[in-house]
Structure 1
Amino acid sequence: MTTFRDVLELVRAPAALTVLGDTVVGSHAATGGFTRRGWLLPLASAAIYSGGMALNDWADRRVDATERPERPIPSGRVSPAQALVVSAVCGAAGLALAAAGGGRRSLATAVPLTAAVVAYDVMAKPTAAGPLVMAACRGLDVLMGARGSVRALPAALSIAVHTVGVTALSRGEVHGGTATDLGAALVATGAAAASIEAVAPSVRAPMAQLAGAAGAVGYLASALPDQLTALDDPSPIRVRDATRSAIGSVVPLQAALVARSGSFIVALGLAALDVLRRALVARRRAGDVT
């Protein structure tokens, strides 16, 4: 019998915390923050992300039966049909929340975002285009928070570049990393850190520059150590560690981008969210899903 814990594992519940900041970054880069019902947009991101995770496991169910038999579908705890239902419900909820939180402009970005998530899971993931499609997903997520404003493009690009590195790393989780993928991850991490400077601050430019620089250092400190270890030892376990830390390090990157925009209190809130995420991941490593 499928339990709620099984569903939480299917959608990678702790990892959903890493997307909450995308729309926060977009809104602060574009207009200085959310207005009215805009705080529904992070929930839209989490719902679309969760639906993508469920669809990912449905698409990978045959490969996972050999490589990751402990996952919910190959272990028999969640059926393929149930995974599709979860994916559809989460995707629909995400679109509804996007419309409620950001109106037609956010919905106009949420629709191609959802389509890109589906395309990655069912077609692009094993191809050379996979990292770029996933990067497009995260970039569109930032723009959903910006309601499509071009002012958020530099911030969206930062998140997208980071995502290219994460996706390249993830290719070596089962069989070990290649020099090409590990090198791409390191380059992407450095480029994402450098691109923080391109975000235009809305207020107090000198303080925003300092805060953005400090945030960039924090981001690099979160992402680089495990990547350098994996470069030295590209075994599956080291690559998995590097991938896990890279996925989580997007939250310090989000905090740095928000700080660079001049919203220091919100940046501190994202830093606190990262502390919560780390605690949940630590519990999951000990065998507790959430």
Structure 2
Amino acid sequence: MVLSVNRKIIAVLELCRISNLPTVISNCAAGYLISKDYLNWDLALIFIGASLLYSGGMAMNDVIDLRYDKQYKTDRPIARSAISHRFALVLTLFFLFVGTLILLFSGSSIPFVGALLLSITIYNFIHKKTSSAIFVMGLCRSLLYLIAGYSLGQNNDILIWAIILGLYTAGITLVARGEDSGNESGICGLILVALPFFLSLYFIIVNSFISIPIVISSLLFLFWIAYCFRVIKSKIEGRIGKSVSLMIAGMCLIDSMAVSHAIGFSGLYFVIFLPFVVLFQRKISGT
């Protein structure tokens, strides 16, 4: 009985791709700090609400993709019958509903919260039908910044970082597809993935200002992306999936750069999220 319950819990964690959840928390904290430069209790509600929406979106992905997963991704929880399709559907609706309510209660902008819920739903329904769905996925990440920051603060720099985070997210998928198929989409993906570093460089030049946290966070991001591409070019088994997971973890370093530019040394705290994400991904797949 206990073993059965434990297996179901693990299956739910896999369904929700819980290993990537620290990146959601990191994104929200970064968006908040860029705009307000201090922490308040409403951020805790944003963490919970955004985490539930993320988990609901991931569960929805498996609910909708069941037929595909049964043929090509038989290790997914529903496809291997670790949890039922109906249970996953109920979990999806519960997470999305409660997550939305909590975000609204936190004081986040109603349009941004509604846009996130709509983007999650649209992405899950179209991602197998059109390659442009990757930009909808990127929009989901951008909206985390805006929900946590722009609707609560006054710093317009968050708009730029939000857009770059979204393009980086889209670039991850393009890199993986290009490497897998050998087409030119990988080059476009490389450009998008490198954008956060170039934005950091742009702010250094335009503002004529550079600091230790900006240098550290920018170089860490550059080295991390170089490592990810070393993995994707290697011959190891599962290299593409591993590199995608590592680049997702790299979102924490984008947060580090963004906050370092906004308020200084506090940005370096976001580097701590990186090893946690990588460690969690070893236990539960992030893709």
2:135 aligns with one of 127, 132, 136:
132
Mean alpha-carbon deviation: is it higher for 217-226 or for 44-53? 217-226
1:197 offset after TM fit, Å?
4.7
CA apart distance, 1:284: 3.7
Match of 1:86 in 2: 91
The answer as to 2:159 corresponding to 1:153 is yes
Aligned residues between the structures: 276
* TM-superposed deviation, 1:152: 1.4
Q: In the alignment, is residue 12 of structure 1 matched against residue 17 of structure 2?
A: yes
CA shift digits 1:44-95 (9 cap, x unpaired): 2211111111011111111111111011011011222211111111111221
Partner of 1:179: helix, strand, or coil?
Answer: coil
8 A Cα contact 1:186 1:224, kept in partner = no
Q: CA deviation at 1:113?
A: 0.5
- Change in 2 beyond 3 A, CA 1:170/1:107: farther
Deviations 1:150-185 (A, max 9, x none): 441011022112111122245479xx2433232222
Unaligned residue ranges in structure 1 (runs of 5+): none
For residue 34 of structure 2, what is the amino acid of its counterpart?
A: A
Partner residue of 2:218? 216
Q: Is this contact kept in 1: 2:175–2:187, CA < 8 A?
A: no
Match of 1:23 in 2: 28
Aligned residue number for residue 196 of structure 1: 200
TM-score (norm 2): 0.86
Q: 1:170 to 1:63 in 2, by over 3 A?
A: farther
* Amino acid in structure 2 at the alignment position of 1:193: F
- Aligned in 2, Cα 1:247/1:261: closer, same or farther, shift over 3 Å? same
Moved more, 146-155 or 115-124: 146-155
Moved more, 255-264 or 71-80: 255-264
2:263 corresponds to which residue?
Answer: 262
Superposed CA offset, 1:183-204 (max 9, x none): 222111211211135669xxx9
Q: Compute the TM-score of the two structures, normalised by the length of structure 1.
A: 0.85
Q: 1:113 to 1:197 in 2, by over 3 A?
A: farther
RMSD of equivalent CA atoms: 2.7
Closer/same/farther in 2, CA of residues 226 and 131 from structure 1, 3 Å limit = same
* Bigger Cα displacement from structure 2, 24-33 vs 239-248: 24-33
User: 8 Å contact 2:17–2:284 — kept in the other structure?
Assistant: no
1:248 matches 2:249: yes
Higher relative contact order (CA 8 A, sep 6+): 2
Change (3 A) 1:50 1:169: farther
Q: Which runs of 5+ in 2 are unaligned?
A: none
Q: Kindly state the Cα deviation for residue 206 of structure 1 after the two structures are TM-superposed.
A: 4.1
Q: Which of 226, 229, 239 is residue 227 of structure 1 equivalent to?
A: 229
In terms of mean alpha carbon deviation, does 149-158 or 224-233 score higher? 224-233
Contact 1:135–1:163 (CA under 8 A) maintained in structure 2: yes
Aligned mates of 2:208, 2:50 — CA distance in 1: 29
Match for residue 186 of structure 1?
Answer: 190
**Aligned equivalent of 1:115:** 118
Q: Report the 3-state secondary structure (helix = DSSP H, G, I; strand = E; otherwise coil) of the residue aligned with 1:72.
A: coil
Amino acid at match of 1:180: E
Q: What's the % identity of the aligned pairs? A: 20
Note closer, same or farther for the CA distance 1:14–1:232 as it changes in structure 2 (3 Å cut).
closer
